[in-house]
């Protein structure tokens, strides 16, 4: 299938419980291969829910997500995406090396190929030398890098990230943002990135999906026309501030609209 969108979300709605809260309403989105898209919005806007619909971890009440021309379910079975959560979610009984190789073990790779691949990935996330450490011996930022390496092991064309740096301090977050961009450029994968941080969304993404809450809807798509590769200087460009302001105002609008309603 040529020209298939990396992710195509077709009229997705999600209601939790019988007559319960409507988390998502009629979401329509298309992400192109190789894009870096952020989902941003107030808490309760359903951005994490949308990410889980894409990953086939939650069934939508209506509509469907199509991943590279396949149903989300088939894409999950085919291991087409890697997932990174806010908590690193490492297995604390496994060493760094064995955490990263976990998906490969399940896919039946043999030991030496696994070793080789893990070595490459730890190099990519700059954790060479930490193979035999246990997760609790690492800082939060390092743990999250292990989680990213683990999500990349089997070379998925899509990476889903649910506030991966949300629990980290700002310095670490800025550094990991740069690293993530470098990794993204090296792999050419499509990234769908959920965040609370306006600066992070603008700095990383080629497009920002601004969502509003209760029910979660797409308020606006903001094209981020800052050139890649982005550096620390990007954060100081006037255009960066303009875009961040635009996103901030959109978020405020949706918040005010809700207050009035």
Partner 1 sequence: MAVNVLKRVGIGTAVLVGLCAFYVGYRQLYLATGWTRPFVVDAYSMPPLQSIVSRLWQPAATEQPVLVQVLLEKAAFTAKEAAAGFAIGAVFGIAIGVVFHFSNVLRRGFLPYAVGSQTVPILAIAPMVVIWLGGRGLPVWIPVAVISAFLTFFPVAINTLRGLDSADPRKLELMRSYAASEFGTLWRVKFPCALPYLFSAFKVAATASVVGAIIGELPSSIQDGIGGAILNFAQYYSLDPSALWATNIVAATLGILFYCIVAIVERLVVHRAPENVA
Residue 112 is encoded by which pair of tokens?
Answer: 């030496």
Task: Tell me which stretch binds partner 1 (CB under 8 A): 32-40, 75-83, 226-234, 238-246.
Answer: 75-83
Total residues at interface with partner 1 (CB under 8 A): 23
Q: Does residue 83 belong to the site contacting partner 1 (CB under 8 A)?
A: yes
Q: Which of 25, 27, 31, 55 binds partner 1 (CB under 8 A)?
A: 55
Q: Is 81 in the site for partner 1 (CB under 8 A)?
A: yes
Q: Which window, 129-137, 181-189, 194-202, 227-235, contacts partner 1 (CB under 8 A)?
A: 129-137
Tell me: cis bond preceding 202? Omega within 30 of 0 counts: no
Told to check if 46 binds partner 1 by CB under 8 A, we report: no
Q: What angle do CA 40, 146, 51 make, to 5 degrees?
A: 30
Nearest approach, Cβ of residue 93 and partner 1 (Å): 5
Q: Which residues in the 196-235 window bind partner 1 by CB under 8 A?
A: none
Cβ-defined contacts of 17-21 (< 8 Å, 24+): 21/214, 21/215
Alpha-helical runs (H) found in the chain: 47-54, 72-77, 96-100, 102-106, 111-124, 140-152, 170-187, 198-204, 238-260
Stretch in the footprint of partner 1 (CB under 8 A) among 3-11, 17-25, 87-95, 173-181: 87-95
Residue 102 is a binding residue for partner 1 (CB under 8 A): yes
CB of 255 to partner 1, least distance (A): 29
Question: Among 3, 93, 112, 227, which residue interacts with partner 1 (rule: CB under 8 A)?
Answer: 93
Q: Does 193 bind partner 1 (CB under 8 A)?
A: no
How far is Cα 136 from Cα 92, in angstroms, rounded to an integer? 7
d(CA 14, CA 213) in angstroms, rounded, equals 13
Contact between 85 and partner 1 per CB under 8 A: yes
Distance between CA atoms of residues 217 and 23, nearest Å: 9
Counting every residue written for the chain, the total comes to 261
* Footprint on this chain of partner 1 (rule: CB under 8 A): 55, 57, 76-79, 81-83, 85, 87, 89, 91-93, 102-103, 105-106, 134-136, 160
């Amino acid at each position: 299938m040529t020209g298939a969108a990396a992710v195509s979300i077709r009229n997705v709605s999600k209601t939790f419980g019988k007559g319960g809260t409507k988390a998502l309403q009629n979401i329509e989105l298309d992400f192109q291969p190789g894009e870096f898209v952020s989902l941003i919005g107030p808490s309760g806007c359903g951005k994490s829910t949308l990410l889980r619909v894409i990953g086939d971890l939650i069934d939508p009440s209506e509509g469907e997500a199509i991943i590279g021309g396949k149903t989300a379910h088939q894409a999950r079975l085919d291991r087409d995406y890697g997932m990174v959560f806010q908590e690193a979610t490492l297995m604390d009984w496994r060493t760094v090396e064995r955490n990263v190789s976990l998906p490969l073990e399940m896919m039946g790779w043999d030991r030496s190929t696994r070793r080789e691949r893990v070595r490459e990935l730890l190099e990519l996330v700059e954790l060479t030398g930490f193979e035999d450490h246990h997760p609790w011996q690492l800082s939060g930022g390092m743990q999250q890098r292990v989680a990213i390496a683990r999500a990349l092991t089997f070379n998925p064309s899509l990476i889903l990230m649910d506030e991966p740096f949300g629990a980290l301090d700002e310095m670490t977050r800025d550094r990991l943002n740069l690293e993530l961009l470098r990794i993204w450029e090296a792999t050419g994968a499509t990234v769908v990135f959920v965040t609370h941080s306006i600066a992070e969304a603008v700095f990383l993404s080629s497009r920002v999906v601004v969502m509003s809450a209760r029910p979660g809807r797409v308020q606006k798509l903001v094209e981020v026309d800052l050139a890649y590769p982005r550096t620390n200087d990007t954060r100081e460009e006037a255009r960066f501030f303009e875009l961040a302001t635009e996103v901030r105002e959109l978020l405020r609008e949706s918040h005010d609209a809700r207050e009035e309603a």
